[in-house]
Structure 1
Amino acid sequence: MSKRKILVVDDNEDICLTIKQYLELYNYMVEIAHSGTEALKMISGDFDLIILDIMMEGIDGMELCGIIRDRVDCPIIFVSAKTLEEDKVQALSIGGDDYITKPFGLKELKARIDSHLRREERIRSNERYLLSSKNITIDLLANEVFCKGVKLHLTKKEYEIIKLLMLNKNVVFSKERIFERVWGLDSESQLETVTESIKNIRKKIRALDKETSYIKTLYGLGYKWDVTYEKR
């Protein structure tokens, strides 16, 4: 696994160096900026986490967070000697993810860093199991389909049809092939159940999204998932 990259922004050089040396013992890659202006030149999507002091000359930590939050989505941990509740609330409301008051222990800082990075990894892992197409999203882990954020109440076969077509966008599946893949060759159901299931799927989607017919019929050939096909 590649080293996690952290940016420390603090005008106290001793604090920056102490944090850098400690985190590097645990295989983190640490870069340092001693002002908000210097940090702005370094900010990019490459950082996995940013540690940000509040009280700095020029661009302070609060202002810097507001500037960079649209550029980066990594966790931002504020470290500050300001202990008032309103300071903490403001820091978290403008895009900070955590707040540690100075003085703090390095073990605690590392524990907070580890916690945020684990959460980010879980979020990225979960996103790999979400499949989206325009207003339709499939949660492949939960076996659920959503249209405009609303869960569709589907039968198991209807879910399997949507999943099959969405995973193979623009691939045409004949009625026979869908039946084979979803019901199985040994099924006692009739081939026409495919037609009925697709009709039900369209009805359930149309109740929430009347603009697009996601499953396109190619007469004589079968069906395919095609969000460019507008229902007339």
Structure 2
Amino acid sequence: MHVDSHTAILYFGTPVVLVSTVNEDGSYNLAPMSSAFWLGWRCMIGLGSTSLTAQNLLRTRECVLNLPSVAEAAAVDRLALTTGADPVPEKKQQRGYRYVKDKFALAGLTPIAPGTVAAPRAAECPVQLEATVTAVHRLGQDDPAQYGRIITFELKIRQVHLDTTILLDGDPDRVDPDKWRPLIMSFQHFYGLGDKVHPSTLAQIPERLYK
């Protein structure tokens, strides 16, 4: 049986992403989020327009998408209820957020130099994707009360860095899904992947055909 529901959020389960950007003063920001999806080497992410990450992306047009595994869950959680925006936006104040200048240090993660963008990579994350902004879209054009409060960014992946521990044996260009254990957020809670539940017909298509 189904019932009509008015749940406040629709986070049914997506990978956690730590977005690293460069602040106006040259320091680094690191923000956890999970509103992201990929199509080929393009990625769409959604952010609140008042967030420092959104403002940095609008200004610099680049970032690194760091994907933590389940092993980095505690580091991600240390960033909860923190913001690099000073003063803290009113909506975030209401939710208990506080200002933190060095969020890499707070999380216990190490910033390392990237190759194609100025934003740093998080060394401990098994997946690091250097990206540039190719398009910006403000959500809610049909609702004046909501318009512009959320911004979606289309990102083009410029460089992919993968930890060798998650690669298919003998193939540096393929991730082994049996080794990769992404951190998943589902309705504000952290989860990991379970065992494979069923053979996949799509998995029979060689990945090279998607390039």
Please state which band the TM-score falls in when normalised by the shorter chain.
under 0.3
TM-score norm. by structure 2 comes to 0.21
TM-score norm. by structure 1 comes to 0.20
Q: Which has the higher strand share?
A: 2
Q: Which has the higher helix share?
A: 1
Higher RCO (CA-CA < 8 Å; seq separation 6+): 2
